[in-house]
Amino acid sequence: MMKQLLFVFLGIMLTGAQVYGQCIPRDPANPSLGYILPDGSPCPNAIITAVPFLMITPDARSGAMGDVGIAISPDANSMAFNSSKLAFVDESSSLSATYSPWLRALGLRDVYMAYLSGYKKINELQSVGASLRFFSLGDIDFTDENGEPAGQGQPNEFELSAAYARKLSEKFSAGLTMKFIYSNLAANQVVEGRDIKAGLAGAADLSFSYISPVDNGTIRAGLALRNLGTKISYTQDVNDFIPANFGLGFAYDIDLDDFNSLTVAVDMNKLMVPTPPYSGSTDYKKKSVVSSWFSSFGDGIDFSEELHEINYSIGAEYWYDKQFAVRLGYFYEHPTKGARNYLTVGLGVKYNVFGLNLSYLVPTSNQRNPLDNTLRFGLVFDFGGE
């Protein structure tokens, strides 16, 4: 099953083709008006990018809060969402490790994501961080176009990151993250008549945070431009976009009393990648990376399609005595852009320098999610609190 899914994904990446099924032009005389299904409902047109593992939430805390992370309080996993938050950390250093099983509903036991991250506070103004995101697709038996064995492989992808964050004022900070991306899905195999190689790319994140104390808590806001980088190629003649992303987040930390606190947060994310044309043309892949970032905000058929490309995350986190946390969240993606909708729940425990986070994803639509009914967990170690 995993081999079939992997080869289907590679086939789509190499051809640039979308699967429209029974989609027909809304107006045969003017195809630019878009496509619909025979029943009149909108035709799906999800944005396809290479290395989608970069957009998987690697943190069990955020994973329990509907994948929010841009503006919530900083921790060792902040690099995954908004590295500028590291300028506001309290502890002098911290390490985190998160394990996320993948596709367990299909009976797979060797597919997973592992995330290691940490930071070091240099002084009151500056912090640095580093992380490793590793995605294993397990053991796969490859076959050729005739169904004959073509060897075995262990497809995997990883991202190495290093970040620097600095306060620009008491309430405002900026962060820069540099990334190296490696993707080996089917190296030395042949798909669609093309020899496959491992893909390499470089990217950067640019982020900003604003934090302001209020009478009963703290207001936080964040802006994150993630995965601004080169294209990636698995063959000599096809270059694909990586998932450049525009993210905006807000959070409100409320101190209910000396022992109870509540955080409510919302994130909005949009891919800065060209929308594939319904005609099936692959000309959009020829756009330059920089121009694609800007044109992605206006290349839909109309403004409503641009709005449909925004994903929404809403989350809440309740703490008792800063030791026990209960979390809840919801993630929404428009039906024509992937149709991912799910509820998340989770728990957190913190004792001295040690923290444990658990999250669980509950599907709320017919669209299956690789994390359906899966428990993932993360460990956090904080050192040198002020």
Per-residue pLDDT, averaged over 119-141, amounts to: 92
Specify the pLDDT at position 343: 94
Report the alpha-carbon distance of residue 345 to residue 15 in Å, rounded. 38
Question: What type of residue is 192?
Answer: E
Mean of the per-residue pLDDT values of the chain: 87
Q: How far is CA 203 from CA 48, 182, 196, 206, in A?
A: 18, 11, 22, 10
Inform me whether the pLDDT recorded for 18 exceeds 60.
Answer: no
What is the band of 145 on the pLDDT scale with cuts at 50, 70, 90? low
Among 182-186, 300-304, 341-345, which is the least confidently predicted range? 300-304
What is the band of 286 on the pLDDT scale with cuts at 50, 70, 90? confident
Among 233-237, 244-248, 256-260, which is the least confidently predicted range? 233-237
Tell me which of 242 and 103 has the higher pLDDT.
242
Report the alpha-carbon distance of residue 146 to residue 136 in Å, rounded. 27
Specify the pLDDT at position 150: 63
Inform me whether the pLDDT recorded for 1 exceeds 50.
Answer: no
Inform me whether the pLDDT recorded for 370 exceeds 70.
Answer: yes
319: its two tokens: 């703490």
User: What is the domain partition of the chain in residue ranges?
Assistant: 2-383
- At the topology level of CATH, where does 2-383 sit? Porin (2.40.160)
Per-residue pLDDT, averaged over 52-70, amounts to: 95
Per-residue pLDDT, averaged over 237-247, amounts to: 91
Tell me which of 225 and 282 has the higher pLDDT.
225
Q: What is the pTM of this model?
A: 0.88
DSSP H or E run through 250: strand 245-255
Specify the pLDDT at position 367: 67
Per-residue pLDDT, averaged over 363-373, amounts to: 74
Specify the pLDDT at position 191: 66
The Cβ-side half-sphere exposure at 54, using a 13 Å CA radius, reads 28
Contacts 24+ apart (CB under 8 A), 192-195: 192/10, 192/11, 192/14, 192/15, 194/14, 194/235, 194/237, 194/238, 195/235, 195/236
Helical residues (DSSP H) of the chain, grouped into ranges: 2-15, 60-63, 289-295, 303-308
Per-residue pLDDT, averaged over 20-26, amounts to: 67
Question: What type of residue is 361?
Answer: L
Per-residue pLDDT, averaged over 46-65, amounts to: 93
Per-residue pLDDT, averaged over 190-197, amounts to: 72
